[in-house]
A and B are shown apart, each in its own frame.
Chain A
Amino acid sequence: AQSVAQPEDQVNVAEGNPLTVKCTYSVSGNPYLFWYVQYPNRGLQFLLKYITGDNLVKGSYGFEAEFNKSQTSFHLKKPSALVSDSALYFCAGRGRRWSGAGSYQLTFGKGTKLSVIP
């Protein structure tokens, strides 16, 4: 079974401080992991993904994520938070759901609301 956990419903950080949004995973096979961001009443936007290679993945808007196989984690980070980073962040992992065509699908975490305080 696939599962993705985001242990924090909300993260508050002061503008200019580093931010971390946590994610742990349990997926079958090699982990394909993703981060998406959602602004209010909008669809999700892709930030970054890990498939293989370097454990530190760089993505859009200055975000990066660190893949840690031993801890089964894929935490999202940014060195200096902006007020405009305030949004809902989703971690997702790809796993096999059924046999046949289209069998690999994403399992999403429940989301973490990030608030950057001016």
Chain B
Amino acid sequence: DGGITQSPKYLFRKEGQNVTLSCEQNLNHDAMYWYRQDPGQGLRLIYYSQIVNDFQKGDIAEGYSVSREKKESFPLTVTSAQKNPTAFYLCATSRAGTGGEGANVLTFGAGSRLTVL
């Protein structure tokens, strides 16, 4: 998990509240990702950012928002529009976004577990 800091590790949210998960990296990687992990479902891509001030929706972006104002930071906001937000959220980075031999080898943070009360 070295080089990527996710916080908080555990978070509890009441229904109707927005929450923001932090992801900071010191690996100098260009690309950053947010994945959601549910038991028995693998990882699903929420958002992806290849460069500062640019990001793309992944497979399950509804109810989530992101920003990429700095290369090092890619926070994820879970909004009240996300109907089933309880999950384990993983931030990842890669040296380059796509293409090339080294691309898409992801480095992951330790994750944030969100529980809706």
Contacts and interface: CB of A to CB of B under 8 A. Distances in A.
B107 interface: yes
Nearest to B90: A43
A102 B50 CA distance: 7
Contact of B105 (A49, A105, A108): A49
Interface residues of A, number: 26
Interface string A65-108: 00000000000000000000000001000100110011111101
Nearest to A32: B104
B101 A51 contact: yes
Given A42-B1, A43-B109, A102-B50, A110 B104 contact: no
A92 to B, nearest CB: 8
**Chain B interface: which size bin?**
20 to 34
A109 B107 CA distance: 17
B85 interface: no
Nearest to A90: B42
A103 B98 contact: yes
A54 B19 CA distance: 46
A44 interface: yes
Contacts of A104: 98-99, 103-104
A88 to B, nearest CB: 10
B114 interface: no
A38 B54 CA distance: 29
Contacts of A101: 50, 54, 56, 97-98
Interface of B: 1, 4, 31, 40-45, 48, 50, 54, 56, 58-59, 90, 92, 97-99, 101, 103-111, 113
10 contacts: A42-B111, A43-B1, A43-B92, A43-B109, A44-B108, A46-B107, A102-B31, A105-B48, A105-B104, A110-B40
Interface of A: 9, 32, 34, 36, 41-46, 49, 51, 90, 94, 97-98, 101-106, 108-111
